[in-house]
A and B are shown apart, each in its own frame.
Chain A
Amino acid sequence: MKALGLDRPIWDQYIIFLTNALQGDVGRSFVFNTPAIDLILLRLPATLELAITALILANVLGIPLGLYAGLKPESVAGRSVMAGSILGFSLPGFWVKVSLIMLFAVELDWLPAGGRGETATFLGITSSLFTVDGLRHIILPATGLSLFTMALVIRLTSAGVRETLPMDFIKFARAKGLRESRVISVHVLKNILIPIVTVVGLEFGGLVAFTVITESIFSWPGMGKLLIDSINFLDRPVIVAYIVLVATMFIGINLVVDLVYAVLDPRVRLSDAGGAGT
């Protein structure tokens, strides 16, 4: 009791907590007896690895699928993509992940059901993405985590394509004799990339938050799993450390998204040259 300072009055405890928190110290874990922030930071790389892989997956698969659905909205494949994206929105995430394990790990036995595989260090970054075993382990959790974001990307992309195609500047690009591939990949894509980057960037925070569920299901040793364990053990300092870290991350992500937005859209860049009037 004394060592933890629990004998002091509550406001005293709060003031001590605030002073320490401002210095980046939110206390020691009751369970592990190490500084809670260190504990969280130790688990951060695994979580980031999962979230970033999921984000990449969502875009690498989602943008082409959305493009296709937007260019050929009447085709069977286009309709199926859109229907699939609706499912991706309305299905509860954890159930999809459980089904993934059921199908690919238990029934087909193609991929491991959980855990983080071997890691290797490359360019000073230790990650499971650099080993075959690690890649095999990350496929299922990253896919499960990416589905919601992927559905979002598909819908944004296809809506963007359908909005952009009838524009005059697309017709002008064709009248200039450009190849269709360039019209789509430069003129259409660059225009719809702006809303996609904004939403997807903000969605990255959501991905990090949803790792809580993914990590629990796939026993991925990240900070989300640590959070659930800490809630069950009532390990308050770790919970506080998690909240502080995630809140900081959200603020950081918002800032980065704003900056990227300015790079992509020339119209929001500050400039004093020329006006928009006739």
Chain B
Amino acid sequence: MTIVSSLTPEQRAVAEREVYVETPLRRFASDFSDSRIALLGLAMFLAFISLAVFAPLLAPQNPYDLSTLDLLDSRLQPGQSLSTGQIAWLGTDGLGRDMLSAIMYGLRISLSVGVMSALIALVIGASVGLVAGYAGGWLDAVIMRIVDIQLSFPAVLIGLVLIAVLGTGTEKIIIALVAVQWSYYARTIRSTAIVERQKEYIEAARCLALGRGVVLFRHLLPNCMPSLIVVVTVQVAHSIALEASLSFLGVGLPVTEPSLGRLISNGFEYMMSGSYWISFFPGVALLLLILSLNLVGDQVRDVLNPRLQR
């Protein structure tokens, strides 16, 4: 501290410049912030995350504590006040539940299921794809054939079939989402791994007689990360949308875990009688959540795309 304060401003500027080392992460951050719309997307996504994480603190009421609900408050229009005096900014549903609170809790469920399934799928898909790309031969052929077949069917259909076989329930939905998604990761990482495998650093690692696992996960995997990160952002959006679709159809998460999709579906019954907000606002929340992820994903793809790198 004393040393720094004894420096002239110019010297300090030089010193600071030397301390600033351009790490890959920093370069990524500066490239990413080139796009304002992507920054907006990121801000929106972070806002959604904080809403979800701090829902119990931020929400006006606990929508699933039945003792706080009052049936007299049911189907209030946006802006009317509850019997407790609070204002229901987004209206209430058929049970007198404040929609704003319901959406915040719904976000919590949608996000956690979406992110969790995307991450599990990442681990499984990346490992399988890495092994297929590195090993090649018949193992690669078999794995990629399965991936191709799976990718030729729409995700919703595969999800529905799996749920039809497994039955409903939170962990079963996650299993279904993982089963739908792993193939995207596997395909992506395999194509990168095939390219990377040819490079000399892998040959060097093998010449050092390193174990296969070490070569795969310590040397090959980190170099496949950029393409993987791109897929993750897009897939989280996909899995949130897919879960919402399934829940909307009534075969997704159980009633005790009302995600955004379930909220929209619940409100759908009331829509015919004109209470549009019960379905509309959860829909807007879902829309913005998916949109923000797509904006972030697009920019991440542009920044990490090796073909566009300057």
Contact = CB atoms under 8 A, between A and B. Distances in A.
Direct contact of A and B (CB under 8 A): yes
Interface of A: 90-95, 98-99, 101-102, 106-107, 113, 202, 205-206, 209-210, 212-213, 216-217, 227-228, 230-232, 234, 236, 239, 243, 246, 250
A250 to B, nearest CB: 7
Given A95-B283, A231-B164, A212 B249 contact: yes
Contacts of A230: 164
A106 B241 CA distance: 25
Interface stretch (B11-19, B127-135, B284-292): B284-292
B274 interface: yes
Contacts of A216: 248-250
Contact of B245 (A90, A94, A102, A232): A94
Contacts of B21: none
Contacts of A205: 153-154
Contacts of B72: none
SS class of chain B's interface: helix, strand, loop or mixed? Answer: helix
B283 A213 contact: no
A250 B152 contact: yes
B85 to A, nearest CB: 31
B290 A212 contact: no
Contacts of B276: 102, 106-107
A92 B287 contact: yes
Contact of B280 (A93, A102, A210, A227): A102
A50 B293 CA distance: 32
Nearest to B274: A106
Given A90-B290, A94-B248, A95-B286, A231 B160 contact: yes
A210 B237 CA distance: 18
A102 B80 CA distance: 22
Given A210-B154, A213-B156, A250-B153, A95 B251 contact: no
A106 B290 contact: no
Contacts, number: 85
A85 to B, nearest CB: 14
A92 B153 contact: no
B245 A92 contact: yes
A228 B152 contact: no
Interface in B254-304: 261, 264, 268, 271-272, 274, 276, 279-280, 283, 286-287, 290-291, 294
Contacts of B241: 92
Interface of B: 152-154, 156-157, 160-161, 163-165, 167, 237, 241, 244-245, 248-251, 261, 264, 268, 271-272, 274, 276, 279-280, 283, 286-287, 290-291, 294
B154 A209 contact: yes
Nearest to A247: B153
Contact of B264 (A94, A209, A231, A234): A94
Contacts of A250: 152-153
Contacts of B237: 90
Contacts of B244: 92, 94-95
Contacts of B271: 98, 101-102, 106
Contact of A232 (B157, B251, B268, B290): B251
Nearest to A239: B164
Given A92-B244, A228-B249, A243 B283 contact: no
Closest CB pairs A-B (n = 8): A209-B157, A209-B154, A239-B164, A92-B241, A206-B154, A95-B283, A231-B164, A94-B248
B283 A210 contact: no
A94 B244 CA distance: 9
A154 B140 CA distance: 36
Contacts of B157: 209, 212, 246
B245 A231 contact: no
A232 B265 CA distance: 15
Contact of B251 (A90, A99, A228, A243): A228
Contacts of B261: 94
A231 B173 CA distance: 14
In this complex, which of A90, A113, A243 has the most chain B Cβ atoms within 10 angstroms of its Cβ? A90
B78 to A, nearest CB: 15
Given A101-B271, A212-B157, A212-B160, 6 more contacts: A94-B245, A98-B271, A98-B279, A102-B276, A216-B249, A231-B164
19 contacts: A95-B287, A98-B268, A98-B279, A99-B283, A101-B271, A102-B280, A113-B272, A209-B154, A209-B156, A209-B157, A210-B154, A213-B156, A216-B249, A227-B164, A228-B160, A228-B250, A234-B167, A239-B165, A250-B153
B259 to A, nearest CB: 12
Contacts of A90: 237, 290-291, 294
A94 B290 CA distance: 13
Contact of A98 (B160, B264, B290, B294): B264
B254 to A, nearest CB: 12
Given A212-B249, A216-B249, A232-B250, A243 B161 contact: yes
Most buried by B among A106, A205, A231: A231
B38 to A, nearest CB: 14
Contacts of A210: 154, 156
A94 B167 CA distance: 22
